[in-house]
A and B are shown apart, each in its own frame.
Chain A
Amino acid sequence: MKTFKFTESLKMSLRSITSNKIRSFLTALGVMIGVAAVITLVALGNGSQKAVESSLQSLGSNLLIVYSGQPKGPSLVRRNTTNIAPALSEDDLEFINSLPESMVLHAAPESSASGQVKYGNANTGATVVGTDTGYTAIRNYYPIYGSFFAQSDINARKPVAVIGAQVYKDLFDDGFDPIGQKIRINGIGFKVVGIMEEKGSSTTDTQIFIPISTFQKYISGSSKYALINIQAANLDSMRELQKFLEDELLHMHRLPSMDAADFYIANQLDLLSTMEGVTGTFTLLLASIAAISLIVGGIGIMNIMLVAVTERTREIGIRMALGAKSKDILSQFLTEAIILSVGGGLIGILIGISAAYGASRFGGMASVISVQSILLAFGFAVITGLFFGGYPAYQASKLDPIEALRYE
């Protein structure tokens, strides 16, 4: 019984691939680059998505922010808060604080201004933030050394300051204990009581925190707040809480609607979903670029296989004369195309993983390698081989043996 085994196809294909190593390598290279690109770019896309998510999470959990003024533009990303004209009053804050714990866990006012900070000869720019003791819990951001100022400091309007990690680096020698040292903010003396933990973000780490009352007295001269940070009791009811606060604050400010309001409320959920949408689109974009390069790789395979079929027309004729059936020829050339694409795909996976790893290890980029992208890219490589190798292989199998034998 005649059975043309797959192993024979495999042997023939390997022989033809190894007999022209450079060409085979270049052919597989297209798929290699395609697969590697898919894996690396998706990993970087996922990485940036994770990075954005975690930096949003680090703002604090279940965060609502009541801002003064009208929203600028569609983005809810935290604005530079130093130039907001404060419009929120102590009554607003007291109302929010009076809400039961089942609605609001903490609320903290915040106003800020840019300031020039000096210690001895050292001097740096910083954002001076006036707030109260609830801030640390809401923002999940605590002193790493010393302590945050206390309620008594607020009541007494004391000139005390908790400095950001970068401010410490700019003003003091490494290892120097700054607690109790006097720094000057815009010419006013403040006593350092603590250093905040490092967040790795230049906007966060260059802040200096002082009691809100002290801020109002020495820096803004206004009794209003630029914004109020609120930690909602639970994530699921954040949108309801936002709506409730909007209605109540409109009523308190005697305003008809949010269009005319002198405040607006940003919701961390919206922020998250906006950013996820943006980074998701980004990942999709990267993946499509990568997919295109995979298709280009497939076309490369098709091109070479068409050349190979033409070049080996005579060989095909000889094989047919000796008894090869159409499917034997088909399987020989298809196997060759699949070996090239699968081989290229496997090497591409290794390159892709190394590149993604290298980008995060040495390039400081966040990358998250996803198993799906590996499977997807590899599966696509196999399909590429089948699809783009299929046509030339079919052409080969349909050759007329007489014509093929006569081919020079």
Chain B
Amino acid sequence: MIRIKNLTRYYQMGPTTVKAIDDINLSIGGGEFVSIIGPSGSGKSTLMNIIGCLDSPTSGTYSLAGEETAALSKDMLAEIRNRYIGFVFQNFNLLPRESAVENVELPLIYAGVPSKERRQKALGILKRVDLEGREFHLPNELSGGQRQRVAIARALAVNPKILLADEPTGALDTKTGAQIMELFRELQSEGVTLIMVTHDRDVAAQGRRIVEIRDGHILTDVPVEEWRK
């Protein structure tokens, strides 16, 4: 699914070059649930942005579902994001003036799905994440957990290959956080590839494989059982 080879991402900060990611190799197969963990400044967000096709590497290659992304234009990347990737953010990033169902419809709009079909699909996904009856509420009329479910529903709307979650429980209490993790495991069992970035070791332990990053390098890359030891 994901094949990353000799990937680097440098930033030019005035005269100094910051190596956010330095020579990373990583492969993730379909249906995996991978936690990427590391302290802030370790390069995990940069890696996340590149996997999410929001950013392009300085050098190295990144192929997603067989497509080489390094050389793609901004608009091509937008299309790949739309088709292959679902984003779940720490602060949900819902559009405040749009109802739950309209938020879920957003990626479908950009995928060119006709409005009737769009609405049906969005309603179905909201049902899947247990938000039946909340479809026409605005984000500020929903609880944190419900908002994150809307965000997850939105990420799932176009049947993405990968669900990218950036600190998905960061803004939630422990109990709702656990419910979201439950939902993630369910999705994994349905065949969705999950990549979660966090600095919280307990949350990371919910994944099946742990990739630990420090200073732009991969420190460890092991199954969760081994990592727990």
Binding site for B on A (CB under 8 A): 1-5, 8, 15-16, 19, 314-315, 317-328, 401-402, 405
Residue pair B154, A402 in contact (C-beta under 8 Å): no
List residues of chain A with CB within 8 A of the CB of B87. 321-322
Question: Is B74 interfacial (CB 8 A cutoff)?
Answer: yes
Q: How far is the CA of A323 from the CA of B112 in the complex (A)?
A: 11
Q: How far is the CA of A15 from the CA of B98 in the complex (A)?
A: 9
Q: How far is the CA of A317 from the CA of B87 in the complex (A)?
A: 12
- Return chain B residues, CB-CB under 8 Å to A328: 110
Given A2-B82, A15-B97, A325-B79: A319 touches B112 (CB 8 Å cut-off): no
12 contacts between A and B (CB under 8 A): A1-B112, A16-B97, A317-B93, A319-B106, A321-B81, A321-B87, A322-B82, A323-B111, A324-B78, A324-B110, A325-B110, A405-B93
Given A19-B97, A314-B93: A323 in contact with B49 (beta carbons within 8 A): no
Query: Complex formed: what's the CA distance from A401 to B77 in Å?
Result: 11
Interface mask (B36-76 → A, CB under 8 Å = 1, otherwise 0): 00000000000001001011000000000000000000110
Question: A322 contacts which of B49, B55, B75, B110 (Cβ < 8 Å)?
Answer: B110
Which of B54, B74, B112 is the one whose CB lies under 8 Å from A321? B54
Contacts of A320 in B (CB 8 A): 54, 78, 81
B168 at the interface (CB under 8 A from A): no
B18 at interface by CB-CB < 8 Å: no
| In the complex, chain B residues 192-206 whose Cβ is within 8 Å of any chain A Cβ | none
Q: Which residues of B contact A4 (CB under 8 A)?
A: 109-110, 112
Contacts of A315 in B (CB 8 A): 95
Question: Given A4-B110, A4-B112, A19-B97, is A323 in contact with B83 using a C-beta cutoff of 8 Å?
Answer: yes
Judge whether B74 and A326 touch: CB under 8 Å. Answer: yes
Closest A residue to B95 using CB positions: A315
| Least CB distance, A405 to chain B, in whole angstroms | 7
Size of B's binding interface in residues, CB under 8 A: 25
* Minimum Cβ distance to chain A for residue B190 (Å): 21
Q: Which secondary structure dominates chain A's binding surface?
A: helix
* Complex Cα–Cα for A339 and B113 (A): 25
| Total of A-B residue pairs, C-beta within 8 Å | 67
> Which residues in B have some Cβ–Cβ distance to A below 8 Å?
49, 52, 54-55, 74-75, 78-79, 81-83, 87, 89, 93, 95, 97-98, 106-107, 109-112, 154, 158
Question: CA of A320 to CA of B81 in the docked complex: distance in angstroms?
Answer: 9
Residue pair A401, B112 in contact (C-beta under 8 Å): no
Q: Please give the distance in Å from A325's CB to the nearest CB on chain B.
A: 5
Q: Which residues from B are CB-within-8-Å of A326?
A: 74-75, 78
Chain A residues closer than 8 Å to B83, beta-carbon distance: 323
| Beta-carbon contact of A8 and B79 below 8 Å | no
The residue on B at minimum CB distance from A397 is B74
A4 to B106, CA, bound (A): 12
Assembly CA distance A325 to B76 (angstroms): 8
Residues of A within 8 A of B106 (CB): 318-319, 322
Query: Which residues on A sit within 8 Å (CB–CB) of B107?
Result: 322-323
Please give me the residue from chain A that is nearest to B81 by CB atom: A323
The residue from B52, B75, B93 contacting A325, defined by CB atoms under 8 A apart: B75
CB-CB under 8 A from B97, the residues of chain A are 15-16, 19
| B49 / chain A contacts, CB cutoff of 8 Å | 402
- B112: which of A2, A314, A318 is its contact (CB, 8 Å)? A2
**A4 to B114 CA separation, bound complex (whole angstroms):** 10
- A2 and B111 in contact, given A321-B87, A322-B154 (Cβ under 8 angstroms): yes
Residue of B nearest to A321 (CB): B87
Knowing A4-B110, A401-B54, the reply to whether A323 touches B93 (Cβ < 8 A) is no
A322-B107, A323-B110, A402-B55 known; 4 new pairs, CB 8 Å cut-off, are A3-B112, A321-B81, A325-B75, A405-B93
A326, B73: Cα distance in complex, Å: 11
Given contacts A4-B109, A8-B109, A319-B106, contact A325 B55 (CB under 8 A): no
The residues of A that contact B110 with a CB separation of less than 8 Å are: 2, 4, 319, 322-325, 328
B183 CB to closest chain A CB, in angstroms?
20
Closest to A328 in B: B110
Q: Which residues of B contact A8 (CB under 8 A)?
A: 109
Bound Cα distance from A318 to B97, whole angstroms:
13
B79 touches which one: A2, A19, A318, A319 (CB < 8 A)? A2
Q: Looking across the interface, which residue of chain A has its beta carbon closest to that of B46?
A: A402
A4 shortest CB reach to chain B, Å:
6
Q: CB-CB < 8 A to A16: which residues of B?
A: 97
- Docked complex Cα distance between A16 and B98 (Å): 10
Closest approach, in angstroms, between the C-beta of B122 and any C-beta of chain A? 13
Nearest CB in chain B to that of A408: its residue: B91
